Amino acid sequence: MTTYPRICGIEAIPIEIKGKREFAISEGQTRTHKSVIVRIVTEDPNIDGVAEIVCAPPGKPEEIQHEIYGALIAIIKSSLIGISAEDTVSAQRVINEQIKGKVWTKGGLNVALNDLRAKALGVSCMSMLGIHSEDNKVPVIGTVIGIMHPDQMAKRAEELLALGFSTLKIKVGKDVSSDFERVSCVREAVGDSVSIRVDANDHYSPEEAIKFINKIEHLNIEHVEQPISRYDILGMSEVKRSVRVPLMTDDMVSTPFDAMNVIRLNAADRVKVKVTKHGLDGAIQIISMLSAAGKRAVLGHVFETGLAAVAEAHLAMLFPNIIGPHEIGSMEPLGIDDNILVENPYCNQGFITIPKGLGLGTNVNWDRVEHYRINLSY
């Protein structure tokens, strides 16, 4: 019988990476990326599980570094000690028992556990998930365009089109009139062949959302994401019945239970799935549920280092029928060069390239992580 090393602790490193420019959504703006790098440590120094727990969305995070770090150190660090590196079911059960809510924290931990288990088994996460493909490149959209003056957004859209991107995502969330100008200017700038996705980040009331979506319908929009509050699922159903542009929800779905409610109430045509929020296991469950219900998934998160981006890309490989190209993020909108990995997952423009190796395949540049480490004050 094979003996696997046991978990002996957790390291949590809060990091802060400052960018060169601001990025704005309806909920806030920032020029700084914040997250916590988590490392599950075992008795074997060569076997660990590493992931990024992101503070999202930018400017108004649902979980801040202090609470992520506190949960990891005060609760999870001791709770996982002694569990076998390959027994991720037991580890995940302990995490769910010890932490209520905190989906981003638990999502990152789930990724780290999958990375850990694959390394303990001596395989890649691709192989462990049943993915057998020589192609390790996953197509992604152009950099998300934040809220700016309509002309600035149009100029950025032209730049992305020139780089070869044929699907763009733009942020709105000011008022119906100016947001219409934003969408209209981008469409005029890129022509009819480019797919445009619009994200309002919970901004509108149902009445305003209906007015806005019907006003932009003729602009051939692929979908509108989260136009109203995440808490108003019945309002989302009302909006869906009143418009012809496909609706997507993101913030309404934190758990598989939330996805089931969206399906039951027919509150959206599509659901945004994020490995950073749902973990690999939760994301797999949600996508499977959506498929059974005849609904579609869109994959990815806007801001994340290459460590989280590679984890997202694994899901795209597992479910080739997910709507693409994928919204797997980077920190380029902030003017940040992402370099916490030894590998460069962005080496092929327009793609995330999954490194080949054990676990997620990534090797963290710990010197860079230390460079970005911050001391949290209370």
The band of 359, judged by pLDDT with boundaries at 50, 70 and 90, is very high
Taking the C-alpha atoms of 251, 252, 258 and 263 in order, what is their torsion angle to the nearest 10 degrees? -120
Question: Are 327 and 203 part of one and the same domain?
Answer: yes
CATH number at residue 307: 3.20.20.120
Question: Are 301 and 172 part of one and the same domain?
Answer: yes
Question: Are 207 and 320 part of one and the same domain?
Answer: yes
In-domain check, residue 2:
no
3-state secondary structure the chain: CCCCCEEEEEEEEEEEEEEEEEEEECCEEEEEEEEEEEEEEECCCCCEEEEEEECCCCCCCCCCHHHHHHHHHHHHHHHCCCCECCCHHHHHHHHHHHCCCCHHHHHHHHHHHHHHHHHHHCCEHHHHCCCCCCCCEEEECCCCECCCCHHHHHHHHHHHHHCCCCEEEEECCCCHHHHHHHHHHHHHHHCCCCEEEEECCCCECHHHHHHHHHHHHHHCEEEEECCECCCCHHHHHHHHHHCCCCEEECCCCCCHHHHHHHHHHCCCCEEEECHHHHHHHHHHHHHHHHHHCCCEEEECCCCCCHHHHHHHHHHHHHCCCCECCECCCCCHHHCCCCCCECCCCCCCCCEEECCCCCECCCCECHHHHHHHECCCCC
Structure tokens at 139: 């197509």
pTM of the full structure: 0.95
Question: Are 173 and 216 part of one and the same domain?
Answer: yes
In-domain check, residue 132:
no
CA-based Rg of the chain, rounded to a whole angstrom? 20
In-domain check, residue 129:
no
Q: What is the tens place of the pLDDT at every residue in 244-274?
A: 999 999 999 999 999 999 999 999 999 999 9
What is the C-alpha separation between 8 and 85, in angstroms, rounded? 10
In-domain check, residue 349:
yes
Percent of the chain with pLDDT over 90: 87
CATH number at residue 38: 3.30.390.10
Domain count, the chain: 2
In-domain check, residue 130:
no
Question: Are 154 and 278 part of one and the same domain?
Answer: yes
Question: Are 16 and 87 part of one and the same domain?
Answer: yes
Cis peptide before 227 (omega within 30 of 0): no
Q: Is the predicted pLDDT of residue 1 greater than 70, yes or no? A: no
Model pLDDT, residue 33: 92
Bridge-based pairing state of the strands 221-225 and 296-299: unpaired
Do 294 and 248 form a contact (C-beta atoms < 8 A)?
A: no
Question: Are 96 and 176 part of one and the same domain?
Answer: no
215-231 mean pLDDT? 97
In-domain check, residue 1:
no
Model pLDDT, residue 135: 87
Domain of 94?
7-122+366-372
322-326 mean pLDDT? 93
Question: Are 117 and 219 part of one and the same domain?
Answer: no
Question: Are 55 and 196 part of one and the same domain?
Answer: no
What is the C-alpha separation between 70 and 77, in angstroms, rounded? 10
Sheet architecture: strand order including 7-25: 7-25, 28-42, 48-54
In-domain check, residue 262:
yes
41-51 mean pLDDT? 97
Question: Are 272 and 147 part of one and the same domain?
Answer: yes
What is the C-alpha separation between 112 and 38, in angstroms, rounded? 7
Is residue 107 packed enough to be buried (19+ CB in 10 Å), middle (13-18) or exposed (0-12)? buried
Question: Are 86 and 196 part of one and the same domain?
Answer: no
Closest CA to 250 of 258, 238, 240: 258
In-domain check, residue 240:
yes
329 to 177, 185, 312, 316: CA distances (angstroms): 28, 24, 9, 13
Q: What is the tens place of the pLDDT at every residue in 129-170?
A: 999 888 899 999 988 999 999 999 999 999 999 999 999 999
Question: Are 59 and 197 part of one and the same domain?
Answer: no
